[in-house]
Structure 1
Amino acid sequence: MSAHSHENTVPRGALMMVAVLVGLALAMTAAFRLAQMPPTASPVLERAAAGVAAIDSRSLRFFDQADGGVLIERIGDTPAVIEPGQQTGFVRGVMRGMARDRRMRGIGNEPPFTLTAWADGGLSLSDPSTGRIVELNGFGNDNRAAFAALLQRGPAK
């Protein structure tokens, strides 16, 4: 019968370094909390503080279609349709998250969302029913463009 070893295979120095890192993270978190440092500013708060104005805004309702496309009712204008494969993944993903928030609060899909272009170049999608705001600039130019196109007036592309 061979001897079975229970020797620790992680070097003691590595364990001490991990303990120091965990302790440092906890100490920094406690220091920030005790100092009551505000969290990083959100784009919404930064725009409000700087007085950045909205330059365009649209009220929109989103509906999934059986073929995988997305029908977008642009209130006061012609509807837009995003055909399957044309950036539907990003639009559908954002709208799924917004719809989930509404379902958790017992809100249907009747109230429109608000798409807003800001003077500082920002683009946001907000849900006035829940107060949730998604800043669309952080998702890359192509994904931002999928929503920015919905601000255009006239016949849908």
Structure 2
Amino acid sequence: MNTAQPSHRGMRIPKSLALIAVGGLAALILFVADFVDSGKLTRETDAQAVITKQLRFEDRSDGSIAVISATDGRVVKVIEGEAGFVRGILRAMARERRIKEVNQAIPFELIARADGRLTLLDPATGNRIDLESFGKDNVIEFAVLLKPQGVQ
């Protein structure tokens, strides 16, 4: 009689399933944010913005995402590889734009606040995501976009 426990080592989750899960989580967050903005819940007043960058995100044919400064058109960063958190957030926000039939070219605003929080705001839909809600490692993925160009 074999009493060995089954091993789950080496079990892998397909990339597409992981991206769908992240996108679903981001969509849920947008739903909750819409619920909050509708006045059903109250939220703390935002701390003063210390840095605000207007950014556009463009998908490239090689699967990467170009992050472009809306003020001068320069590429701030090219996001390659999985970058599941960034991709999930951007997909959820782009989906909301498609649903509301707003212009995809309107830049997003990435806002660093005096209290250390980081907010991604979509002026086209009014949606916002307070990125610190997802943990320090995920905030860093967006925080690097606030660095002066040429500094990585």
Report the identity percentage: 40
How far apart are residue 67 of structure 1 and its match? 2.2
How far apart are residue 39 of structure 1 and its match? 4.9
- The corresponding residue for 2:12 is none
Secondary structure of the residue aligned to 1:99 is helix
Secondary structure of the residue aligned to 1:101 is helix
- The corresponding residue for 1:68 is 63
Q: Per the alignment, do residues 71 and 119 of structure 1 end up closer, same or farther by CA in structure 2, a change over 3 Å counting? A: same
Q: Please say if 1:125 is aligned against 2:125.
A: no
Matches of 2:84 and 2:63 in 1, distance apart? Answer: 10
CA contact (8 A) 1:81 1:156 kept: no
Q: Please say if 1:81 is aligned against 2:78.
A: yes
CA contact (8 A) 1:62 1:73 kept: yes
- Aligned pairs for 1:3-152 (under 5 A) are 39-42=40-43, 46-48=44-46, 52-76=47-71, 78-79=74-75, 80-85=77-82, 88-152=83-147
TM-score when normalising by structure 1: 0.65
Matches of 1:63 and 1:113 in 2, distance apart? Answer: 12
CA contact (8 A) 1:136 1:144 kept: yes
CA contact (8 A) 1:67 1:84 kept: no
The letter of the residue matching 1:83 is E
Q: Which has the higher contact order (CA 8 A, sep 6+)?
A: 2
Which is greater in Rg?
Answer: 1
The letter of the residue matching 1:134 is I
Query: How many pairs were matched up?
Result: 112
CA contact (8 A) 2:103 2:124 kept: no
Residues 29-61 of structure 1: CA deviation (Å, up to 9, x unaligned): xxxxxxxxx85432xxx124xxx2101010000
Structure 1 outlier segments of 4+, above 6 Å:
none
- The corresponding residue for 1:35 is none
